[in-house]
Amino acid sequence: MSTEPDGALEIAIAYHRAWTSGDMDSAVQYLAADVSCFAPAGTMTGQAEVRAFMEPFAESLTSSTLYAAYGSNDEAILMYDTANHFVPTAPGAELYRLRDGLIVEIRIIFDRLPFALARGDVVMKPGRSDMAPLGGSERGGP
């Protein structure tokens, strides 16, 4: 019996655990050479560009909680929350598409408001409470 992940969901979770723990060397092993990553910041193509995009954020994390993970043979979607020294909560979701056991496409959606607040680009409306994490603080998810 192999301990290597084989379905899209298992591979997506393994990739997520690797990058959220700061292990980008392991994370990159789950990516196809020609992987495309679509994120609010733009589109990255290839392992090196995706790593260069993900690594600074991954290294800044103080916690990560995986809330939901669903998948099929060639697709998976994960919903999670992260925190770092600048923001207490940064929820996001990622859709993964796989081919031949490797991630060929990542579509990232995340809440940019916590980062805008931390930078002072926007201010919280008077009377509104500060943002609170969705819950949990275990690094790397379940």
**Half-sphere exposure for 9 (CA within 13 Å, toward CB):** 8
pLDDT for residue 120: 86
Who contacts 83 (Cβ-Cβ below 8 Å, separation ≥6)?
Answer: 61, 62, 63, 64, 89, 90, 133, 137
**φ and ψ of 25, to 5 deg:** -60, -45
Domain architecture of the chain: domains with CATH? 8-119 (3.10.450.50)
pLDDT for residue 136: 46
pTM: 0.82
pLDDT mean values, one per 10 residues, the chain (142 residues): 71 98 98 98 97 96 97 96 92 97 97 86 72 48 37
pLDDT for residue 113: 85
Q: Determine the Cα–Cα distance for residues 109 and 95; give it in Å rounded to an integer.
A: 9
pLDDT for residue 126: 76
